[in-house]
Amino acid sequence: MTKLSVNINKIATLRNARGGNLPDVVKVALDCERFGAQGITVHPRPDERHIRFDDVRRLKPLLKTEFNIEGYPSENFIELVLSVHPHQVTLVPDPPDALTSNSGWDTIDYKDFLIPIIKQFKDKGIRTSIFIDPVVELINYAADIGTDRVELYTEAYAKNYSLNREIAIEDYLLGAEAAVRAGMGVNAGHDLNLDNLYYFSRNVPCLLEVSIGHALICDSLYLGLEKTIIAYLQELKK
């Protein structure tokens, strides 16, 4: 079954809006695990406007499931990942002021930039993944830079799902197949939710993991966190 990694950035955003420690980011992460999530994702940004670097350090020794740290590979980010040593690092091409991830890596133009960074993580036994658009050419180049996995950027799928889901998923099918042929694992994330997750996970081949944050946290306001995580797991199990 495809694993569910819960991105807890929005929990940290809520905490930071008021100050103090409510909600408690660490407690929420542990509760997500207790409710069945198979992983926790965080995306620390340079301004620490949601997840803080200290949150990342506090989480690592307490989590029992897979820990995925995603972010732009700045010097500070690389140092954090190497010191914390998560199960997986997911590299995204976000500039520091980006509201949220909004594109995948251009693995042609950034090949020489990414190769030594990925090697640095892999030499320390950290699985690497890169955020990428479902473009076969870019995915083929991703294999050349040495990444273990690609995370398919699913905003376009989510945006077009209600218009024509068969067309919306076409590029993702081709992208996933290309990744598998090249010997890479396939993750996915961005704007996946209870409406579109089942169709995506049922059709995309060899999907190992989805990382979901915003929609899942929004759903939990109505359903509660435990029922929400159970609902997402059920979509993946169907």
Write out the catalytic residue numbers: 43, 70, 190
Q: Are 116 and 145 in contact (CB under 8 A)?
A: no
Q: Are 60 and 39 in contact (CB under 8 A)?
A: no
- Structure token digits, residue 3: 């694993």
Neighbours of 183 (CB within 10 A): 8
Sign of CA dihedral 116, 117, 118, 120: positive
Of 195, 188, 141, the C-alpha closest to 165 is 195
| Region label for 191, one of left (φ > 0), alpha (ψ between -120 and 50) or beta (otherwise) | left
